[in-house]
Amino acid sequence: MQRACFLLKIKTDRMEEYKARHAAVRPDMLQALSECGWRNYSLFLREDGLLVGYFETEDLAAARACMAQREVNTRWQADMAPFFEELGGRRPDEKIMPFEEVFHLA
């Protein structure tokens, strides 16, 4: 199992709506994540807009590639892009740069 942790930045004036959108993620998006092997997926949001994401998967590259091919993900990323800072014209999921894991206490 691979564990992936990443950081993104949410615009502070969009944080409440961002949280509301994640309180009601579309069932087809949840199904796609599950089918693509994203497990134990969590997002944490700090008051300054720093977003910390974490998930587990058997194969990180395959899980990302699977989601990239899903139409529901394309729609979700387009809908969510305005919430993020510093995307540089890329989709939010394309800006996910996982950290190297250096310690894990099981």
Query: In this structure, which topology does domain 2-95 adopt according to CATH?
Result: Alpha-Beta Plaits (3.30.70)
Give the C-alpha separation, 105 to 89, whole Å: 37
pTM across the whole model: 0.89
Q: Which sequence spans correspond to the domains of the chain? A: 2-95
pLDDT tens for each residue of 76-88:
999 999 999 988 8
Give the C-alpha separation, 63 to 61, whole Å: 6
Best CA proximity match to 18, nearest among 40, 51, 41: 51
Average pLDDT over every residue of 7-24: 96
Task: Look up residue 53 and give its two tokens.
Answer: 């994401």
